[in-house]
Structure 1
Amino acid sequence: MADLDVEDFVKQNRHLAEVVDNHRSVSENEKQWKSRREFIFRNISDFEETHMDHLLALSMVWSNHIFMGCRYSPDLMEKVKEMAEGITVEDAPIFKTRDEIMKDRR
């Protein structure tokens, strides 16, 4: 679902969009929320209403990885990366691991 597709989906599903928008964190800036919101809308059809919390948690895992450099188990990372395929985050921060930093110092 491209940006335009997400916006079309939102227009056609106003009630659902309002429900999703209620889950924006107070600490998320506009870029983070726009990206996480797209992640949610791209995957919402794969989750039943009763599993919305699971989708929201996965969206936070993906967002935390992209914007804060958090790392999770390889299986979880693979899952959220698959779910985020096609989402473009402009000017995303680049993080180095401790090992990469130490290697640069040698």
Structure 2
Amino acid sequence: MTNTARAKLATDLDELRLLAGLSYRELARRSGCARSTLHDALTGRRFPRLETVLAIVQAGGGNVANWRERWTCAVRQRPDEYPLHAPGTAARMSRQSTSPS
């Protein structure tokens, strides 16, 4: 994924996973998605299908409606229309702040 909107979606989905305290294994169990599919989606290797995004969001306790809109904006390449700071979106923090000391 070279598009910045799509890359941002992947980064924020991974932050949602981290904030929920989910490993790839646990996320796979909760979402019903293969770990390889999750890894591709969360690292930005491949742009995920909407169903994959929604499964990740539900497993991580995110707001499905907001993430559906974010996925649509990423497909349309319009990151400026993301619903920022809405409940269930990934918090704006660095990955370092989520790792144990």
TM-score (norm 1): 0.32
> Larger Cα Rg: Structure 1 or Structure 2?
1
Of Structure 1 and Structure 2, the greater helix share is in 1
Q: Which has the higher contact order (CA 8 A, sep 6+)?
A: 2
